[in-house]
Amino acid sequence: MATATAEKPPAAADAVPSFTVTLIIRRFDPEVDEEPRWQDYDVELYGTDRVLDALHKIKWEQDGSLTFRRSCAHGICGSDAMRINGRNRLACKTLIKDLDISKPIYVEAIKGLPLEKDLVVDMEPFFESFREVQPFLQANSTPGTGKERVQSVADRARFDDTTKCILCAACTSSCPVFWTDGQYFGPAAIVNAHRFIFDSRDDQAKVRLDILNDKEGVWRCRTTFNCSEACPRGIQVTQAIAEVKSAIMRGKP
């Protein structure tokens, strides 16, 4: 081994090992298919590649009809949440080396939102719920002469976790309650309500608590923790929902 490497040109010796990985993707073309179908692809990949790179390789080199969403490719835009080996993940944050490549990798669209094509779902119901919780600052006061609303470090920390949301829908579409009841606001809307309910500069917490104190609001949550485990930003989603539940019971944040 040692002699072999010594004699080989440096380029070959430094070669990064690559693997043939099988991806089984749940395809659906609304113009042709009655029902989704599974299709497999063999792709040559490095351990440092991500599932998104595998999808790109398939689309660019094997089958241009494969349809999926992505934009930033760096876990910021929230476009590419999908179900990878049965769990919701961002394709751009899932490294091949973290998956068991001795078996095929199953990739399918997130569940509970209308399937449009291949890995693309209609996100409109999801954003509809997001808009309903009034996810913007509503302050009754006008900022002082300094033009800023001053907030203490502790007050800012109170809702820090829920500011990190990128609206990828991994949480909402991992929720068994949401799968059967599409009317449920879902974890992401509650996370984004939490972000303003517990913001000391905002004055409309009461309104949002009223919106979520609904048949289809926080009380639908059955604490399965799928959302917390799915969130690519590591947000403690179930904890945030629990905090909103107790704020409703107290009648104030």
Partner 1 sequence: MWLSTEASTIMGGLFVSVQTAGTPPKASKKKPRPAGTLYRGHEGMWSWVFHRITGVAIFFFLLVHVLDTALVRVSPEAYDAVIGTYQTPIMGIGEVGLVAAIVFHAFNGLRIILVDFWSKGTRYQKLMFWIVIALWVLTMLAFVPRHLTNVFSH
User: Between 155 and 174, how does the x/- string for binding to ligand SF4 read (CB under 6 A)?
Assistant: ----------xxxxxxx---
Q: Which helix (H) or strand (E) holds 23?
A: strand 18-27
- What single DSSP character describes residue 140? S
Closest residue by Cα to residue 82 from 111, 114, 41: 111
Q: Select from 226, 235, 244, 253 the one that contacts partner 1 (CB under 8 A).
A: 226
User: 27 or 195: whose CB is closer to ligand SF4?
Assistant: 195
Q: Which residues in 54-73 contact ligand FES (CB under 6 A)? A: 70-73
Number of residues this chain uses to bind ligand SF4 (CB under 6 A):
16
Q: Find the angle CA(59)-CA(60)-CA(61) to the nearest 5 degrees.
A: 100
User: Between 74 and 93, how does the x/- string for binding to ligand SF4 read (CB under 6 A)?
Assistant: --------------------
Binding of residue 95 to ligand FES (CB under 6 A) = no
State the minimum distance, in angstroms, from the CB of residue 146 to ligand FES.
36
State the minimum distance, in angstroms, from the CB of residue 240 to partner 1.
9
Closest residue by Cα to residue 118 from 41, 195, 46: 41
Alpha-carbon distance 159 to 181, whole Å? 28
Number of residues this chain uses to bind partner 1 (CB under 8 A):
31
| Dihedral angle computed from the Cα positions of residues 94, 87, 59 and 16, in that order, rounded to the nearest 10 degrees | 30
Q: Which residues bind ligand SF4 (CB under 6 A)?
A: 165-171, 187-188, 191, 230-233, 235, 237
